[in-house]
């Protein structure tokens, strides 16, 4: 009897001990469900902040650190960044050699493509979903406005690299890049360059309206895209499209509240977002350590990485030599390397770069500059000069140069001479900030390293690329070709 | 005391004798070899009356005059009934059950009689590992069971081998088998288990055997069963091993300093003669430049170190030969392995106490292992204890608790990244042979001394310190120093594991048994890592991380068994339910900026790099049933079914049904076999079933996720590029057919089995790549299909057997064929590393450019061209058939083709065991025939380019030197090294190998000695693990990875051990 009661007990316990239905529902604690991103404006703001973060996180491999890396890649393809040592580190060398963007299997090239579309995909979630999120209109405008600037800017970066150059006044029916306005896993075809620019302008114009009342706050304020950033991007786009007046007025508006930095600030390492003239940049704090992959792990003079120790970056000797000794910008390069802050055991080379400094030799973090007033002044000067408003151009250039070189006398040059002066100062001012490749491409100029003494020919292999060469177009990564049936490759 | 008890018993028995009409029978129980069987149980059949034989096998039993039969049984022996005749002396000779074909085998959720089991499985028993110094129990599976492929154990102490059962089941999910310890899926690694506690390791191979584990069993199940006490025999068993570990696999052969300088000179010289752009300089000029006789950089300027007593511009002459007067000035300091890689000690101590009575049994063990690897800072110390107690408090209740605790500490060599500088194997293998470990005066070669008079390391970046030392070039790992980093860094863990298994059996209504199981596996691990301030990844700030993790498995199951024998019919039914609940926690901190030297705790660092925490849960709920039926033990069938719900999948897709059917026929029991006396067993069996794979897929793989991504101090989240909502994501399914024949011939002297299997893996989980422009990288989908099939043969026989001499031989042979039969629609082919997946090939078929050879005119390498259009790199070469082959010297124009597979034609092992009197010599040989290895390590030793300073393989001496040279090694050319030596079929090599895995010589103490020592038995033994590696290239380990690509991993250890074991 005792036994039967016992058995009965066990069986009844068994029947009731069956698992609850929720037993099999488990959730990650290091991630949140995708739906939650749009459950409140607070969460949507977090999804926006995540986009600011992925501007400087690591992607597939060492040296792929968001927009900072893309900036470097574009400048390596020009003539002004020099890899000075034949037996030094070969990290990133494939860009200098014009190999990576023409190799469909290049991991670095794939990363560039992936990075911009990642931003677009994240932006689309917010652009297309924010209207239905409960919350204050001001917050929603801020979120949607920023997401639109991201989407426009990312498409702009893509079309400049993968599309043929924009020809102002012509029919730009050449193929650009896929326009992703809603998220889909279905492969999208390439839109024409014209269509891409039309959408970029549409997104920017809408963003400028939405961001009108928004003021950035917090320690990472300048990593947000406010109306000034939107205008700055608009100015860059207009410069490519040769809409000179739009370029000049937007550039002027974008920099209005960002006075040029002092000469003392100029030599502090280009790593501080609080610098007066920075309009847009990433803000990095120490627990976002970027180790050996970051922008500064490749372009600073002082971080203790194999790259910096054995292949410190140098400036084009000709560019350096052309800078007057009174120009503060000359002092961010070092003729002998003797006065450069280097990591332990690092090499010293002629024309060594010291423009960029990492937080320390042990910490590769630093705020990454994306847009500064100086660039806006140069856009204004170039646009006005191309418009024929010579005085306005000379004045804009003077505004910048008076700051950089106290004894600078306002230029009296005109026409191409004036433009050349502007272009020279663009190179001197924006070294390492990612403008050289796209400048050469939009201006339809050749890339030439001929006669630059400190380039190591055996290392760089490529000395000259004629204007209009097919190599000015990036190839689409093999992964995109494989998965996107609608995709057409650029001419090989 | 003992005497008192004896007297008491005698009186007791005497009194009993008076009470009944009894007679006394005495006798001796011996085994087949005539040795006494201590503790044999002697019972009057049909009663509970019985006695045990004493240590000499002698028993005395008083039996009623009505009794007719005695039942005699013993551990490891076949029970026997003996008729009681008129004699009062009854000597019994027992047959060992080692050859007993009706032994019991471990199966899913229980045990079964081997003779009527339909499943396919292989067993490794305790005696197979008793004399081997293995620190991880799964190493015992190497070569032991046909159909099981093992990788070699990494030499890191405690590391196990990776295991594949019957081919390669999965592409993106896991191909690992499920580990089940004492009947319950194990949460934790097998290195937690003391091998000496293990009674048997059983590999379940076919669906009939595994289907009861349902969704996790497709890649086979490995059942580890620990020891328990044996009834009627109290035992103390001790085992002690002392050994030495050393590198088991030789290093690749590399050129020395005298050969190296001229080779690098030539590579440099040729890069001047054949520049990549522009026009080269003349050979004569190039010779002068390379020797350093011009104003341009000479070879010394590129290698930066001159280890010889001749001037920097006179090391290599313009004829390319080393200066005949050159002598090394610091030749005693060029061996980077001297302090890093030497020998270690391995000590192991085990003691266990076991025994049992009618109502209970116990097993208690203690062990300590101290295994020092042969590299600096690589070791494992592990202490374990186990208590396994089973009791029978009531006739219908049986319960037991098997609990084990384990504490381990380990320093880990940094071999994680194959090409990371801190990896001592990568670093020492590729260091050019002219660079010293310590700083030297570069003129005299004398050691430089620091302020305290000690030598100091040459870190390779001391050029600016005014010591007259140059920086090493980048090929020689400038600014890095594996010895210094290994000494100064710290990588260790402490792990504590507690594991318990409880069961309660209740038998009722005669034929029913209900079992409730509760089990807990709980493991915590504390990892500490520190990188120093002097050199390496942590320099100059120093950095430290601490990670704490726990992993708990809580598993309950309820089983109901019905077992009935009706005449010739036997039915056995099981129904059950199981809930698997795994819970993992992790907490970690990582800081840099060391304040005070010596202390590596986080408080002593200034900057937080990261601080993380997470909790993960994995749950499975299961219901299952199995039914076995046999008729006269002659015909038998079984079927099983299991329904699993798995938290890795969406509610819509998480339930799946898995099942199997099997049948068998013991042919030897048929009447027509009666006259075939040499056949002792002939069993035909076959099964078919469907099982699943869920492991290896992310825990939340079906969910759409946003990951955390704070922007400075603002909270942020970002879309995952691989986790998109896919509610239809579900199990991979494996459909396996199996047919096998087991046989025993010539009085069981020759036993074996031959089997064929065909296993189709469908709905393979594939991380299907998406257009990058969609913002996604991959989405998990169930799309691909492949099959594995093969034949397995096992033979075991006593080749010779006399009273004193036994020669036993065991042979395993297996084949496996793997082929993809379906790919995702959007991804008809997929290139990953050196392989390309597509329909019709295996997952291990190489997809590489085809290397053709070397053009004798200029030493350029030739690849079969993909584009045969005329261009500068095109070459036309007349082939053997008189036709023209279109080739290219530009590797990027090389044609990709399938080049054969990693998978061998067949593989196997054989064991030889020779026993002569007290001595036994045995050895396990493993081999593989066919298959290809892609020797990445060799490739990098053959490709030293513009990053001067890396080591060369001696095969470089066969390079092309002048027009007309016929060779397979292209011209040395620093400027073109990457292009000349890129990935191609050139780096494939026949993967056939022959290894002597273990050799063992043991000596059994003779009875005369054990009696004097008052022990039951004792053994001395000597053993060598990894005695020999023999492959097509010295240094090559073909078993390193299933993918066939070599890496700079920790080479396996050779362990030389002497041991003793005693049973009291």
Confidence of residue B15 (pLDDT cuts 50, 70, 90): very low
Cα–Cα distance measured from residue B364 to residue B390, given in angstroms and rounded to the nearest whole number = 12
Strands B22-30, B92-93: pairing kind: parallel
Query: pTM higher than 0.90 for the full model?
Result: no
Query: What pLDDT is attached to residue B5?
Result: 40
Cα–Cα distance measured from residue B176 to residue B171, given in angstroms and rounded to the nearest whole number = 12
B515-534 per-position pLDDT tens digit: 999 999 999 999 999 999 99
Q: B620 pLDDT exceeds 70?
A: yes
- Least Cα separation, residue B366 to chain A (angstroms): 36
Cα–Cα distance measured from residue B602 to residue A404, given in angstroms and rounded to the nearest whole number = 45
Query: What pLDDT is attached to residue B21?
Result: 59
Mean pLDDT of chain B: 89
Mutant choice from B545, B609, B646, B772 vs A, greatest count of A C-beta within 10 A: B772
Residues on chain B touching A116 (C-beta within 8 angstroms): none
Mapped onto helix, strand or coil, the DSSP state of residue A403 is helix
Report residue B691 as tokens. Answer: 């099982």
Which has more pLDDT, B34 or A52?
Answer: A52
Residues 203-222, chain A, touching B (beta carbon < 8 A): 218-220
Average pLDDT over every residue of B864-890: 88
Nearest neighbour of A461 by CB, restricted to B276, B703, B725: B276
Query: What pLDDT is attached to residue B100?
Result: 45
Q: A458 pLDDT exceeds 80?
A: no
Query: What pLDDT is attached to residue A92?
Result: 94
Average pLDDT over every residue of B403-426: 89
- Counting residues of chain B whose pLDDT is more than 70, the rounded percentage is 96
Does B540 sit behind a cis peptide bond, omega within 30 degrees of 0 on the bond before it? yes
Which has more pLDDT, B960 or B694?
Answer: B960
Q: B900 pLDDT exceeds 60?
A: yes
Q: At residue B880, what are phi and psi to the nearest 5 degrees?
A: -60, -30
Residues 76-135, chain A, touching B (beta carbon < 8 A): 86-90, 110, 113-114, 117-118, 120-122, 124-125
Is the Cβ of A188 closer than 8 Å to some Cβ of chain B? yes
Burial string for B83-96 (b: 16+ CB within 10 Å, else e) reads ebeeeeebebebee
Q: B10 pLDDT exceeds 80?
A: no
Mutant choice from B299, B774, B849, B983 vs A, greatest count of A C-beta within 10 A: B774
Q: B596 pLDDT exceeds 50?
A: yes
Mutant choice from B718, B830, B894 vs A, greatest count of A C-beta within 10 A: B718
Query: What pLDDT is attached to residue A2?
Result: 62
Mutant choice from A284, A345, A367, A487 vs B, greatest count of B C-beta within 10 A: A345
Cα–Cα distance measured from residue B151 to residue B144, given in angstroms and rounded to the nearest whole number = 13
Cβ distance of A187 and B725 shorter than 8 Å: no
Average pLDDT over every residue of A279-287: 91
Confidence of residue B1017 (pLDDT cuts 50, 70, 90): confident
Query: What pLDDT is attached to residue B11?
Result: 44
CB under 8 Å to A391, separation ≥6 — which residues? Answer: none
A110-129 per-position pLDDT tens digit: 999 999 999 999 999 999 99
Cβ distance of B700 and A27 shorter than 8 Å: yes
Residue pair A41/A132 in contact by the 8 Å Cβ criterion:
no
Confidence of residue B657 (pLDDT cuts 50, 70, 90): very high
A305-327 per-position pLDDT tens digit: 889 988 999 999 999 999 999 99
Dihedral angle sign, alpha carbons of residues A109, A113, A118, A123: positive
Percent composition of chain A: helix, strand, coil (DSSP 3-state, to 5): 50, 5, 45
Cα–Cα distance measured from residue B972 to residue B962, given in angstroms and rounded to the nearest whole number = 11
Average pLDDT over every residue of B754-767: 93
Angle, vertex CA B597, rays to CA B595 and CA B601, nearest 5: 70
Query: What pLDDT is attached to residue A5?
Result: 65
Nearest neighbour of B769 by CB, restricted to A11, A24, A482: A482
In this prediction, does ipTM exceed 0.95? no
Query: What pLDDT is attached to residue A19?
Result: 62
Average pLDDT over every residue of B158-187: 89
B918-935 per-position pLDDT tens digit: 999 999 999 999 999 999
Report residue B123 as tokens. Answer: 């067993």
Is the Cβ of A53 closer than 8 Å to some Cβ of chain B? yes
Cβ distance of B772 and A479 shorter than 8 Å: yes
Cα–Cα distance measured from residue A15 to residue B508, given in angstroms and rounded to the nearest whole number = 19
Query: What pLDDT is attached to residue A9?
Result: 61
Give start and end residues of each alpha helix (H) in B431-538: 482-488
CB under 8 Å to A413, separation ≥6 — which residues? Answer: A394, A420, A421
Strands B184-185, B178-181: pairing kind: antiparallel
Query: What pLDDT is attached to residue B829?
Result: 86
Residues on chain A touching B705 (C-beta within 8 angstroms): 28, 31-34
A130-146 per-position pLDDT tens digit: 999 999 999 999 999 99
A75-114 per-position pLDDT tens digit: 999 999 999 987 778 889 999 999 999 988 899 999 999 9
Look at residues A35, A42, A70 and name the one whose alpha carbon lies nearest to residue A54: A70
Cβ distance of A110 and B772 shorter than 8 Å: yes
B815-845 per-position pLDDT tens digit: 999 999 999 887 888 888 899 999 999 999 9
Residue pair B75/B233 in contact by the 8 Å Cβ criterion:
yes
Percent composition of chain B: helix, strand, coil (DSSP 3-state, to 5): 15, 50, 40
Residues on chain B touching A57 (C-beta within 8 angstroms): 709
Confidence of residue A46 (pLDDT cuts 50, 70, 90): very high
Confidence of residue B1060 (pLDDT cuts 50, 70, 90): very high
Cβ distance of B608 and A287 shorter than 8 Å: yes
Mean pLDDT of chain A: 93
B186-234 per-position pLDDT tens digit: 988 888 899 999 999 999 998 888 888 888 888 999 999 999 998 877 8
B54-106 per-position pLDDT tens digit: 777 888 888 877 778 888 877 667 777 788 877 778 788 777 654 444 578 88
Mapped onto helix, strand or coil, the DSSP state of residue B1019 is strand
Dihedral angle sign, alpha carbons of residues A86, A91, A97, A103: positive
Q: B8 pLDDT exceeds 70?
A: no
The strand pairing partners of B179, in sequence order, are: B222
Query: What pLDDT is attached to residue B425?
Result: 93
The strand pairing partners of A6, in sequence order, are: none
Confidence of residue A172 (pLDDT cuts 50, 70, 90): very high
Query: What pLDDT is attached to residue B134?
Result: 85
Confidence of residue B630 (pLDDT cuts 50, 70, 90): very high
Cβ distance of A23 and B579 shorter than 8 Å: yes
3-state secondary structure B829-860: EEEECCEEEECCCCCCEEEEECEEEECCCCCC
């Amino acid at each position: 009897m005792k036994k039967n009661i016992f058995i009965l007990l066990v069986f009844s316990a068994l029947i009731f001990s069956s698992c609850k239905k929720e037993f099999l529902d488990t959730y990650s604690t290091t991630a949140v469900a995708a739906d939650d991103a749009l459950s409140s404006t607070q969460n949507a703001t977090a999804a926006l902040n995540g986009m600011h973060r992925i501007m400087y996180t690591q992607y597939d491999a060492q040296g792929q650190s968001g927009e900072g890396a893309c900036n470097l890649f574009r400048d390596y393809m020009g003539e002004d960044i020099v890899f000075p040592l034949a037996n030094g580190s070969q990290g990133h060398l494939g860009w200098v050699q014009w190999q990576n963007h023409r190799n469909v299997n290049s991991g670095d090239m794939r990363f560039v493509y992936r990075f911009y579309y990642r931003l677009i995909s994240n932006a689309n979630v917010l652009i297309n979903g924010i209207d239905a999120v409960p919350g204050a209109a001001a917050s929603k405008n801020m979120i949607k406005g920023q997401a639109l600037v991201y989407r426009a800017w990312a498409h702009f970066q893509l079309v400049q690299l993968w599309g043929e150059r924009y020809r102002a006044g012509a029919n730009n029916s050449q193929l650009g890049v896929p326009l992703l306005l809603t998220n889909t896993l279905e492969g999208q075809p390439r839109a024409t360059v014209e269509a891409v620019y039309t959408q970029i302008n549409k997104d920017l114009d809408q963003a400028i309206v939405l961001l009108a009342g928004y003021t950035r706050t917090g320690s990472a304020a300048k990593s947000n895209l406010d109306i000034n950033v939107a205008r700055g991007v608009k100015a860059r786009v207009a410069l490519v499209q040769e809409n000179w007046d739009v370029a000049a007025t937007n550039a002027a508006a974008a920099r209005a509240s960002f006075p040029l930095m002092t000469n003392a600030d100029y030599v502090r390492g280009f790593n501080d977002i609080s610098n007066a003239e920075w309009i847009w940049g990433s803000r990095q704090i120490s627990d976002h350590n970027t180790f050996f992959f970051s922008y500064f792990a490749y372009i600073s003079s002082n971080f203790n990485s194999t790259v910096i120790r054995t292949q410190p970056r140098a400036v084009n000797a000709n560019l350096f030599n052309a800078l007057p000794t009174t120009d503060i910008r000359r002092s961010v390069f070092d003729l002998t390397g003797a006065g450069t802050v280097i990591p332990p055991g690092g090499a010293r080379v002629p024309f060594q770069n010291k423009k960029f400094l990492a937080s320390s030799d042990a910490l590769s973090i630093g705020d990454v500059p994306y847009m500064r007033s100086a660039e806006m002044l140069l856009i204004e000067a170039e646009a006005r000069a191309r418009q024929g408003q010579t005085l306005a151009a000379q004045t804009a250039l003077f505004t910048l140069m008076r700051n950089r070189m106290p004894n600078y006398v306002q230029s009296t040059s005109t026409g191409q001479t004036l433009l050349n002066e502007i272009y020279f100062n663009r190179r001197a001012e924006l070294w390492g900030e990612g403008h050289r490749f796209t400048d050469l491409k939009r201006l339809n100029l050749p890339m030439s390293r001929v006669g630059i003494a400190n380039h190591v020919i055996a290392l760089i292999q490529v000395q000259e690329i004629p204007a209009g060469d097919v190599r000015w177009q990036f190839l689409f990564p093999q992964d995109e070709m494989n998965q996107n049936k609608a995709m057409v490759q650029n001419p090989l | 005391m003992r005497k008192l008890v004896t007297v008491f018993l005698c009186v007791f028995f005497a009194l009993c004798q008076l009470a009944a009409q009894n007679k006394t029978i005495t006798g001796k129980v011996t085994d087949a070899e005539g040795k006494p069987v201590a503790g044999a149980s002697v019972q009057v059949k049909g009663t509970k009356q019985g006695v045990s034989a004493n240590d000499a096998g002698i028993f005395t039993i008083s039996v009623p005059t009505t009794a007719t039969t005695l039942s005699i049984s013993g551990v490891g022996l076949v029970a026997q009934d003996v008729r009681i005749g008129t004699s009062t002396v009854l000597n019994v000779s027992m047959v060992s059950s080692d050859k007993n074909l009706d032994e019991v085998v471990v199966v899913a959720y229980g045990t079964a009689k081997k003779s009527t089991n339909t499943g396919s499985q292989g067993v490794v028993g305790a005696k197979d590992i008793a004399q081997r110094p293995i620190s991880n129990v799964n190493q015992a599976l190497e070569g032991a069971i046909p159909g099981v492929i093992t990788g070699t154990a990494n030499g890191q102490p405690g590391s196990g081998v990776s295991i594949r059962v019957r081919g390669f089941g999965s592409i993106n999910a896991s191909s690992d088998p499920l580990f089940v310890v004492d009947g319950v899926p194990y949460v934790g690694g097998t290195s937690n288990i003391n091998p000496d506690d293990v009674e048997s390791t059983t590999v379940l191979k076919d669906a009939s055997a595994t289907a009861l584990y349902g969704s996790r069993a497709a890649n086979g199940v490995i059942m580890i069963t620990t020891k328990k006490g044996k009834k009627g025999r109290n035992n103390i068993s001790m085992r002690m091993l002392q050994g030495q570990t050393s590198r088991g696999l030789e290093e690749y052969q590399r050129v020395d300093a005298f050969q190296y300088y001229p080779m690098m000179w030539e590579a440099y010289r040729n890069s001047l003669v054949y520049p990549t752009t522009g026009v080269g300089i003349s050979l004569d000029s190039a010779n002068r430049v390379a020797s350093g006789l011009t104003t341009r950089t000479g070879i010394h300027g590129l290698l930066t170190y001159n280890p010889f007593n001749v001037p920097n511009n006179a090391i290599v002459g313009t004829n390319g030969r080393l200066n005949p007067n050159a002598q090394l000035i610091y030749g005693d300091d060029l061996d980077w392995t001297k302090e890093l890689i030497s020998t270690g000690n391995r000590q192991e101590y085990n003691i266990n106490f076991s025994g049992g009575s009618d109502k209970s049994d116990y097993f208690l063990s203690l062990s300590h292992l101290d295994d020092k690897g042969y590299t600096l800072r690589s070791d494992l110390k592990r202490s374990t204890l186990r208590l396994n107690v089973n009791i029978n408090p009531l006739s219908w209740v049986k319960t037991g608790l098997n609990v084990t605790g384990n504490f381990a500490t380990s320093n880990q060599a940094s071999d994680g990244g194959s090409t990371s500088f801190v990896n001592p194997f990568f670093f020492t293998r590729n260091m050019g042979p002219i660079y010293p470990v310590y700083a030297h005066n570069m003129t005299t070669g004398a050691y430089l001394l620091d302020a305290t008079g000690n030598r100091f390391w040459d870190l390779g970046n001391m050029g600016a310190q005014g010591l007259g030392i140059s920086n090493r070039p980048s090929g020689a790992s400038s600014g890095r120093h594996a010895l210094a980093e290994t000494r100064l860094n710290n990588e260790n863990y402490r792990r504590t594991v507690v594991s318990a298994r409880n069961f309660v059996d209740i038998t009722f209504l005669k034929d029913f048994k209900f079992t409730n199981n509760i089990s807990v596996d709980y493991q915590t691990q504390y990892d500490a890592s520190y990188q120093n301030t002097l050199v390496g990844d942590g320099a100059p700030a120093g950095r430290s991380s601490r990670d704490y993790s726990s992993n708990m498995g809580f598993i309950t199951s309820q089983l109901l068994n019905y077992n009935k024998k009706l005449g010739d019919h036997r039915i056995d039914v099981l129904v059950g339910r199981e809930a698997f609940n795994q819970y993992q926690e992790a907490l970690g901190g990582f800081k840099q900026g060391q304040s005070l030297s010596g202390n590596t705790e986080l408080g002593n660092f200034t900057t937080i790099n990261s601080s993380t925490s997470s909790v993960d849960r994995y749950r499975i709920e299961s219901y299952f049933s199995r039914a076995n039926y046999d008729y006269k033990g002659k015909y038998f069938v079984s079927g099983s079914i299991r329904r699993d719900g798995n938290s890795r999948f969406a509610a819509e897709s998480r339930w799946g049904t898995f099942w199997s059917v099997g049948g068998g026929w013991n042919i030897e029991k048929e009447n027509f076999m009666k006259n075939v006396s040499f056949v002792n067993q002939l069993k035909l069996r076959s099964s078919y079933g469907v099982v699943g794979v869920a492991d290896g897929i992310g825990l939340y793989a079906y969910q759409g996720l946003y990951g955390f991504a704070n922007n400075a101090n603002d909270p942020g989240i970002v879309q995952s590029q691989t986790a998109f909502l896919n509610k239809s994501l579900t199990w991979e399914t494996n459909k396996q057919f199996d047919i096998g024949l087991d046989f025993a011939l010539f009085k069981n002297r020759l036993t074996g089995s031959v089997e064929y299997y065909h296993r189709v893996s469908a709905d393979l989980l594939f991380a299907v790549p998406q257009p990058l422009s969609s913002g996604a990288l991959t989405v998990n989908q169930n799309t691909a299909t492949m099959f594995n099939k093969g034949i397995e043969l096992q033979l075991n026989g006593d080749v010779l057997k006399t009273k004193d001499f036994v020669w036993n031989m065991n042979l395993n042979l297996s084949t496996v064929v793997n082929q993809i039969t379906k790919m995702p629609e959007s991804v008809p082919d997929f290139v990953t590393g050196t392989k390309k997946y597509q329909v019709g090939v295996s997952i291990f078929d190489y997809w590489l450019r085809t290397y053709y050879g070397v053009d004798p005119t200029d030493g350029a390498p030739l690849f079969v061209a993909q584009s045969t259009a005329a261009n500068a790199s095109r070459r036309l070469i007349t082939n053997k058939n008189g036709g023209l082959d279109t080739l290219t010297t530009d590797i990027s124009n090389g044609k990709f083709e399938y080049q054969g597979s990693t998978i061998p034609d067949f593989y196997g092992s054989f064991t030889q065991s020779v026993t002569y009197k007290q001595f036994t010599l045995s050895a396990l040989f493993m081999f593989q025939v066919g298959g290809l290895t892609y020797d990445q390590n060799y490739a990098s030793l053959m490709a030293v380019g513009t990053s001067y300073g890396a080591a060369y393989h001696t095969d470089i001496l066969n390079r092309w030197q002048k027009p007309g040279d016929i060779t397979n090694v292209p011209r040395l050319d620093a400027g073109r090294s990457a292009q000349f030596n890129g990935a191609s079929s050139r780096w494939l090599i026949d993967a056939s190998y022959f290894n002597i895995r273990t050799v063992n010589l043991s000596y059994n103490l003779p009875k005369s000695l054990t009696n004097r020592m008052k022990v039951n038995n004792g053994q001395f033994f000597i053993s060598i693990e990894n005695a020999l590696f023999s492959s097509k290239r010295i240094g090559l380990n073909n078993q390193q990875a299933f993918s066939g690509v070599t890496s700079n991993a920790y080479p396996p250890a050779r362990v030389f051990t002497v041991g003793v074991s005693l049973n009291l």
